[in-house]
């Protein structure tokens, strides 16, 4: 890939570190108190938190400061309407406060920080700038400020996902996973998340070995992982990073597969039947958010399958960053027909063939695609 993306990747990685620090602050407050004013319901009943708008403001502001607002086109999940409502004054105040707290620490990563704290209008403007529609031409950023908001408010897994798309192709991706264990041995936590939630709300929260940022550039053949930059600690950049690689497992009986926790927009019955047909025997790793992509990229799992229920349309911000990281780590990502995902048609993954299949290698991938074709007619999708 052209080296002109080196600066974009550098800024994106640092911006995601700052965004993750904001999420950690907000989640601590959310879990340590009855912070009802930190959560608002959207029209589709999914919770939106201070973190969603805060991350969007931070990433928008940092990208604009680094590259000029006239050069930054950003597609993001949240709009500013609910936050601008007079009834959301307290919520907006919380967003502005935490945004300024975290931007104040951006300079330790070599990023610009505001000369003076941002005001309400400046924070709203930063969020409002995230109004691009994507498409097949030009360059635009794609952000999911808190992917897996349900996981976030429950003290579980979530991710900050930022990608850059040029002429319809994802050219770089950054995935911040603040609660993702650095040690694979702790992954049994995900099978029964609610039984272990106390680990996140107890005094051991800061002692948990967790939190990382993964990133990759298209065509580099490499994907990297960094531990999260500790809050309120001065670090030297470039920060320590190590290469990550997908698993070498190609025997379905030995493979671990991931699927969404939520049943609302995925058909777990079909996925379970497909897993049995292919020979996947291990208990599924049910994980909120794009952390599923992180698990594949780092070799913690071998397969991620998602088959949406009728009427649900996949959005580009839920997949863009994860796709390029898995691919550069050596994995395979396609729709269920074996075709590449198309990020060139706006905010949705239009033309998606039935579902999404992510694998550590071609052997497992071919078996699953074959099983989809064999099983589809008898499914209840």
Tokens of 98: 């935490």
H or E element in which residue 161 lies: strand 159-166
Q: Tell whether the torsion through CA atoms of 315, 320, 321 and 326 is positive or negative.
A: positive
44 labeled binding residue: no
85 labeled binding residue: no
Catalytically annotated residue among 49, 79, 149, 201: 149
Helix, strand or coil, per DSSP, at residue 194: helix
Catalytically annotated residue among 52, 300, 334, 335: 52
Q: Residue 265: exposed, middle, or buried by beta-carbon count in 10 A (0-12, 13-18, 19+)?
A: middle
d(CA 377, CA 374): 7
Q: Provide the 10 A C-beta neighbour count for residue 351.
A: 12
Q: Provide the 10 A C-beta neighbour count for residue 198.
A: 10
Residue 149 bears catalytic tag = yes
d(CA 320, CA 154): 25
d(CA 303, CA 296): 7
Task: Answer whether 224's CB lies under 8 Å from 215's CB.
Answer: yes
3 labeled binding residue: no
144 labeled binding residue: yes
Task: Answer whether 92's CB lies under 8 Å from 121's CB.
Answer: no
Strand partners, 159: 147
d(CA 15, CA 54): 12
List active site positions.
52, 149
Which segments are annotated as binding site?
Answer: 77, 144, 147, 318
Q: Which residues are annotated as a binding site for Mg(2+)?
A: 77, 144, 147, 318
């Amino acid at each position: 890939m052209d080296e002109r993306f080196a600066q974009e990747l550098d800024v994106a990685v640092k911006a995601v570190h700052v965004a993750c620090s904001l999420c950690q602050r907000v989640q601590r407050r959310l879990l340590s108190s009855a912070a009802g004013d930190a959560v608002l319901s959207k029209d589709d009943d999914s919770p939106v938190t201070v973190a969603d708008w805060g991350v969007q403001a931070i990433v928008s502001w940092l990208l604009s400061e680094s590259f000029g607002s006239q050069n930054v086109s950003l597609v993001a999940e949240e709009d500013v309407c609910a936050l601008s409502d007079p009834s959301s004054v307290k919520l907006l105040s919380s967003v502005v406060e935490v945004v300024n707290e975290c931007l104040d620490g951006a300079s330790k990563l070599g990023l610009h920080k505001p000369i003076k704290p941002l005001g309400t209008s400046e924070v709203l403007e930063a969020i409002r700038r995230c109004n691009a529609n994507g498409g097949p031409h030009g360059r635009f950023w794609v952000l999911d400020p808190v992917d897996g908001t349900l996981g976030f408010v429950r003290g579980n897994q979530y991710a900050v996902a930022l990608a850059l798309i040029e002429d319809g192709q994802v050219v770089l991706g950054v995935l911040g996973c603040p609660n993702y264990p650095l040690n694979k041995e702790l992954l049994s936590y995900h099978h029964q998340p609610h039984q272990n939630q106390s680990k996140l709300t107890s005094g051991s929260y800061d002692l948990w070995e967790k939190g990382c940022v993964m990133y990759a550039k298209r065509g580099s053949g490499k994907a990297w992982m960094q531990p999260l930059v500790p809050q309120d600690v001065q670090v030297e950049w470039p920060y320590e990073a190590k290469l990550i690689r997908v698993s070498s497992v190609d025997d379905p009986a030995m493979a671990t597969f991931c699927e969404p926790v939520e049943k609302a927009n995925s058909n777990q019955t079909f996925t379970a039947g497909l897993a049995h047909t292919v020979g996947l025997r291990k208990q599924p790793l049910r994980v909120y958010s794009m952390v599923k992509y992180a698990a594949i990229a780092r070799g913690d799992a071998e397969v991620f399958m998602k088959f949406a229920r009728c009427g649900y349309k996949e959005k580009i911000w839920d997949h863009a960053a994860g796709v390029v990281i898995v691919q550069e780590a050596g994995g395979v990502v396609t729709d269920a027909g074996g075709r590449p995902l198309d990020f060139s048609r706006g905010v949705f993954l239009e033309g998606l063939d039935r579902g999404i299949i992510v694998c550590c290698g071609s052997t497992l991938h071919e078996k699953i695609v074959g099983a989809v074709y064999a099983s589809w007619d008898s499914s209840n999708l």
